[in-house]
């Protein structure tokens, strides 16, 4: 399994006997062997949790903590989605992480997700070196589910050491992280840096497929140029003997118009930031937590319109046995193709709650940064196709000159796509209350 190296030996940890006992008790509830864990092994179990009640038992929250979480769980950003499918997930998560109950109608809807895919991980000591990222994320394919499905990720750590410049992140799993001792041996939190990150899925969870950013529209095709012909006949000593009247065969034909550029694809909805529970028994040193929503993808640029075909030049005048034939009229250029519109930016992804539990006397060591899920930028409209040039008279001095045709108009420019909708940042609650000292990026 990736990222499990750098274990601290069991004999060098900084845990008290009580903390070791709490870690091992938790490990036993997860079905992990204490002897192997004390020997420095890492135990991982991929499983399915049969019922919601059993999923609830995996949380570290005590009864009082559950009640406090329930009181703040359905704040406006969560309550507004109660009538859609995500609302059912929210009520299920309130049951698992807080003190919610699930009605029979929701249980019927949720039955398709149970038994629920889960990863259970225990490690006595884990050191995250400077510059290392310990990514706890479990991809759905590891558990045989679609990437849009939820995965319950339960991590049990005795001592977690995060060196300055190291990070622990999760991307879009339902996280239950329990740590008896978290040490960050740094004098002070560095501005803009963080040690724990609750981040969005690294992919969109909408029903479309493909990249997050919309693909650009295809360019329009260019129009074909016009042309001119010359009447058929036979040359003689005194001029050209025509087989038929020249008619329109002296004129240049018009160029065809360029075709319209394709519209840019809309960007996809940003990744989802899922509910997380982080429980720290003892915090040594400062700690910065980041909770961020997933930004929507930018819309694709509209395709450029095709260039209009140039008008055909007329046939030059000439002498015939019946007298002179004047030059034809030049052909009109084809109109430039309209440009395609830019694609709409994808909406920001939804975010759920982040619950942190730690001793109240250590709450001052915690710094929280939250970032909203920005909407993607709308794609730029395409450039209009240039109009074709009008045909030109060859300027035969022996016959009257005809005027050149005017150049054709360009196509219409494409409209830019609308920006996607910005969605709120995840709410972070510490010991069941909104964290008053958090900093939220605009």
Q: Does 134 map to a domain?
A: yes
Give the pLDDT of residue 238. 61
Give the pLDDT of residue 1. 37
Q: Does 332 map to a domain?
A: no
Give the pLDDT of residue 248. 67
Q: For residue 185, what are the domain limits?
A: 10-210+268-300+347-378+422-435
Give the pLDDT of residue 17. 92
Q: Does 85 map to a domain?
A: yes
Q: Does 336 map to a domain?
A: no
Q: Does 388 map to a domain?
A: no
Q: Does 129 map to a domain?
A: yes
Residue 423 is given by DSSP the state: B
Q: What angle do CA 57, 198, 141 make, to 5 degrees?
A: 70
Residue pLDDT, tens place only, 52-92: 899 999 999 999 999 999 999 999 999 999 888 888 899 99
Give the pLDDT of residue 5. 39
Query: What are the Cα distances from residue 80, in Å, to 75, 84, 371?
Result: 9, 9, 19
Give the pLDDT of residue 401. 45
What is the C-alpha radius of gyration for the chain, rounded to an integer number of angstroms?
35
Give the pLDDT of residue 387. 92
Beta-carbon-side half-sphere exposure of residue 12 (alpha carbons within 13 Å): 10
Tokens of 329: 């009229």
Residue written as token pair 């050191």: 127
Could you tell me the end-to-end alpha-carbon distance of the chain, in angstroms, rounded to an integer?
Answer: 37
* pTM for the whole structure: 0.82
Q: Which SS3 state, helix, strand or coil, does residue 104 take?
A: helix
Tell me whether strands 287-292 and 196-199 are parallel, antiparallel or unpaired: parallel
Contact present, 344 and 268 (Cβ < 8 Å) = no
Q: From CA 104, how far away is CA 108, in angstroms rounded?
A: 6
- Residues in the chain where the model's pLDDT stays below 70: 1-12, 187-192, 229-249, 320-323, 394-403, 437-442
For residue 221, how far is the Cα from the chain centroid? 31
Q: From CA 378, how far away is CA 265, in angstroms rounded?
A: 10
Q: Does 286 map to a domain?
A: yes
As for how many domains the chain has, the answer is 1
Tokens of 424: 């709120």
Give the pLDDT of residue 354. 97
Beta-carbon-side half-sphere exposure of residue 407 (alpha carbons within 13 Å): 10
For residue 343, give the nearest of 229, 261, 425, 410 by alpha carbon: 261
Q: Does 215 map to a domain?
A: no
Residue written as token pair 């065809």: 256
């Amino acid at each position: 399994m990736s990222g499990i190296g750098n274990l601290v030996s069991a004999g060098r940890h900084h845990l008290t006997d009580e903390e070791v006992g709490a870690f091992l008790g938790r490990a036993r509830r997860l079905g992990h062997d204490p002897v192997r864990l004390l020997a420095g092994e890492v135990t991982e179990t991929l499983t399915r949790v049969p019922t919601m009640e059993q999923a609830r038992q995996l949380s570290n929250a005590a009864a009082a903590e559950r009640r406090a979480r329930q009181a703040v769980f359905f704040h406006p950003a969560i309550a507004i989605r109660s009538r859609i499918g995500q609302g059912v997930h929210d009520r299920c998560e309130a049951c698992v992480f807080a003190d919610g109950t699930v009605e029979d109608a929701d249980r019927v809807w949720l039955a398709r997700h149970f038994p629920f895919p889960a990863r259970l991980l225990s490690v006595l000591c884990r050191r995250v070196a400077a510059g290392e990222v310990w990514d706890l994320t479990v991809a759905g394919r590891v558990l045989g589910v679609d990437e849009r499905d939820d995965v319950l990720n339960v991590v049990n750590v005795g001592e977690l050491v995060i060196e300055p410049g190291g990070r622990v992140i999760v991307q879009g799993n339902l996280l239950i992280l329990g740590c008896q001792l978290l040490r960050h041996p740094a004098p002070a939190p560095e501005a803009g840096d963080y040690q724990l990150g609750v981040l969005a899925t690294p992919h969109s969870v909408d029903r479309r497929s493909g990249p997050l950013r919309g693909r650009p529209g295809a360019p329009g095709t260019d129009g074909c140029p016009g042309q001119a012909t010359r009447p058929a006949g036979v040359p003689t000593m005194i001029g050209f003997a025509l087989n038929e009247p020249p008619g329109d065969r002296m004129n240049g034909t018009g160029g065809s118009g360029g075709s319209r550029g394709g519209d840019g694809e809309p960007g996809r909805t940003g990744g989802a930031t899922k509910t997380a529970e982080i429980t720290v028994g003892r915090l040594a040193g400062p700690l910065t937590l980041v909770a961020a929503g997933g930004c929507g993808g930018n819309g694709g640029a509209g395709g450029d319109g095709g260039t209009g075909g140039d008008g055909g030049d007329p046939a030059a005048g000439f002498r015939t046995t019946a007298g002179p034939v004047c030059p034809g009229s030049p052909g009109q250029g084809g109109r430039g193709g309209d440009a395609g519109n830019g694609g709409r930016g994808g909406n920001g992804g939804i975010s759920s709650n982040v619950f942190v539990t730690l001793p109240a006397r250590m709450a001052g060591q915690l710094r929280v940064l939250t970032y909203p899920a920005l909407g993607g930028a709308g794609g730029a409209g395409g450039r209009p196709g240039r109009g074709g040039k009008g045909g030109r008279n060859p300027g035969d001095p022996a016959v009257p000159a005809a005027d050149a045709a005017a150049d054709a108009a360009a196509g219409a420019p494409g409209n830019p796509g609308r920006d996607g909708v910005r969605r709120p940042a995840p709410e972070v609650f510490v010991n069941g209350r909104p964290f008053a000292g958090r900093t939220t990026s605009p």
